Amino acid sequence: MLQVRRSRGVLSGILLALLGIWGALIPFIGPDFHYAYTPDKAWTYNTGRLWLEILPGAAALLGGLLLMGSSGRHVKLFGAMLGILAGAWFVTGNIVAPLWTTVAPAGSPASATTLMRAMEQIGFFGGLGAVLVLVAGFAAGRLTAVPGIVVTEPVAAVPASTVPVSTEADRTVADRTLDDGTVADRTVDDSTVATRSRWSVLPHRAKVPVQAVPADDVEQTRTIS
């Protein structure tokens, strides 16, 4: 249960790693493409970018690497949780940042048009964090799903076999004179066949009922014989 296929979660890991690299590097290379937060100068470092962009981007990158390189379920789950936390911090970090400073540490969108400012907010924080949470949550859901039980060795059905054990036939002829002058000719055919199978052993007995024969017929038969 603690081991999964190494290929499970690899695609999600690749996406997490790429998104983490994007989140950590875009504040430094974005000004070269006129896509930046203030200060809009390439490779400008400050503590706001460290806490709000570099660290969550590194966490997402680490989570993606764990998803790609490990075969342990718990290790992959830890990587997915890192991706979820990093995405959540990208979404909320810039919002709660004014709680410990009067100016947003990440700055503000540097573009002049409203559309570009919206795109910068989406690409730097809100949209990036939402995609990270979505991808990491999908990976975590697949990893926590318990696979069904698979029968690897089918059991062949064995038909019940009936094996005769013994057969005994006892035939007894008894002639008995009754009070009314008749002779009872009783022939008992007692055949016992025992059968043995997987489930039970059942005896079967066949009996022939007693037939009364008149005495005159018996005497005539004896005389002729």
* Mean per-residue pLDDT, 26-53: 91
Residue 211 is predicted with a pLDDT of 55
> Are the beta carbons of 105 and 49 closer than 8 angstroms?
yes
Query: In 10 A of CB 37, how many CB atoms?
Result: 27
* Mean per-residue pLDDT, 13-35: 95
Residue 197 is predicted with a pLDDT of 43
DSSP string, 67-113: HHH--BHHHHHHHHHHHHHHHHHHHHHHHHGGGT-SS-TT--B--SS
Residue 58 is predicted with a pLDDT of 96
Q: Would the CA dihedral through 171, 174, 175, 179 be positive or negative? A: negative
**Rounded CA gap, 179 and 17, in Å?**
111
pLDDT in tens, 111-130: 989 999 999 999 999 999 99
Nearest of 175, 87, 89, 92 to residue 132 by alpha carbon: 87
Residue type, 197: S
**Rounded CA gap, 27 and 55, in Å?**
13
85: pLDDT strictly greater than 60:
yes
Residue that the structure tokens 């690749």 belong to: 14
> Are the beta carbons of 76 and 139 closer than 8 angstroms?
yes
Residue 31 is predicted with a pLDDT of 93
Would you list the domain boundaries of the chain? Answer: 10-144, 163-213
68: pLDDT strictly greater than 90:
yes
Nearest of 97, 23, 22 to residue 53 by alpha carbon: 23
Give the pLDDT band of residue 214 (cuts 50, 70, 90): low
Whole-angstrom CA distances from 40 to 7, 74, 106, 189 are 41, 41, 11, 114
DSSP code for 21: H
* Mean per-residue pLDDT, 5-18: 91
Q: Kindly report the three-state secondary structure assignment for every residue of 126-161.
A: HHHHHHHHHHHHHHHHHHHCCCCCCCCCCCCCCCCC
Nearest of 65, 63, 73, 79 to residue 5 by alpha carbon: 73
135: pLDDT strictly greater than 90:
yes
Residue 12 is predicted with a pLDDT of 94
Question: Which pTM does this prediction carry?
Answer: 0.63
